[in-house]
Amino acid sequence: MIIDKMKAWKNLCKAKDIVAILNRKHFQASYVENIEEAKKKVLGMLEEGASVAIGGSTTLSEMGLVEILRNGNYKFFDRYQDLPFDPDIVDIHRKSLTADFLLTGTNAITKKGELVNTDCTGNRVAPMIFGPKNVIIVAGVNKIVDCLEDAFQRIREIAPMNSKRIKHETPCTETGFCVDCDCKKRICNFTTIIHNGIKFEGRIRIVIIAEEIGY
């Protein structure tokens, strides 16, 4: 199908372009053509026996990485266990801050090479900045936006879906759009911007998938 081919070509161009930008910002970025290649690439980066934490991500869910980590030769800080949130899952989040590897998605990547993320608990945005020795970020080209304002807007648009997915009782799960709520179950509590990868060169690796993955 010519339309599919042209879309794939356009996505590949976008992926190559953002990888060049991210590498100029001192991240270690590379691109792959599809989700299967991304899975192989990420698993190839993990060292056997290493401790691995995972940030909540629809992209990683689509890749089926949780199942692989549960059955692989890793020490997996498994945040998806059926345990009470506090203290058990919170404790896993704390331990995750010392993991050898953090695997995560990102909410947005600007065309200046900034990574923008918003969290409910902070367990994803905090270790992206500091803690785990290695951070591996996987993102589809649908995460690319023009500027910081577009990144914040993107996050406001996707957050209601996240709130519904994790079953938080927030106004946006009724309306479908953000009303900047002030309720206890609000999921948009911490927002970070990673401007570059200079401070710990090589720590943050980014795999761009030349497809639309997750949301």
Is 51 near ligand SF4 (CB under 6 A)?
Answer: no
Residues 160-189 touching ligand SF4, rule: CB under 6 A, are 160, 163, 170-172, 178-181, 186-188
Q: Supply the minimum distance, in Å, between the C-beta of residue 168 and ligand SF4.
A: 7
Residue 138, CA atoms < 13 Å, CB-side half-sphere = 33
Is 135 an interacting residue with respect to ligand SF4 (CB under 6 A)?
Answer: no
| Angstrom distance (rounded) from CA 79 to CA 57 | 12
Phi, psi of 143 (to 5 degrees): -85, -5
CB of 203 to ligand SF4, least distance (A): 29
Note whether 133 and 212 are within 8 A (CB).
no
CB nearer to ligand SF4: pick between 128 and 187:
187
Q: CB of 154: closest distance to ligand SF4 in angstroms?
A: 12
Nearer to ligand SF4, 47 or 169 (CB): 169
* Residue whose CB is less far from ligand SF4, 66 or 181: 181
Nearest-approach distance from CB 195 to ligand SF4, in angstroms = 24
Cβ closest to ligand SF4, residue 55 vs residue 160: 160
As beta bridge partners, residue 117 has 192
C-alpha dihedral, 180 to 156 to 131 to 63, nearest 10°: 140
User: How far apart are the C-alpha atoms of 168 and 114, rounded to whole Å?
Assistant: 28
Least distance from ligand SF4 to the Cβ atom of residue 170, Å: 4
CB of 183 to ligand SF4, least distance (A): 7
Whether the CB-CB separation of 52 and 69 falls below 8 Å is answered with: yes
Q: Cα separation of 87 and 154, whole Å?
A: 32
Q: Give the residue with the Cβ less far from ligand SF4, 18 or 159.
A: 159
Task: Give the interface size with ligand SF4 as a residue count (CB under 6 A).
Answer: 13
Identify which of residues 13 and 179 has a Cβ nearer to ligand SF4 in the complex. 179
Write out the residues near ligand SF4 by the rule CB under 6 A: 159-160, 163, 170-172, 178-181, 186-188
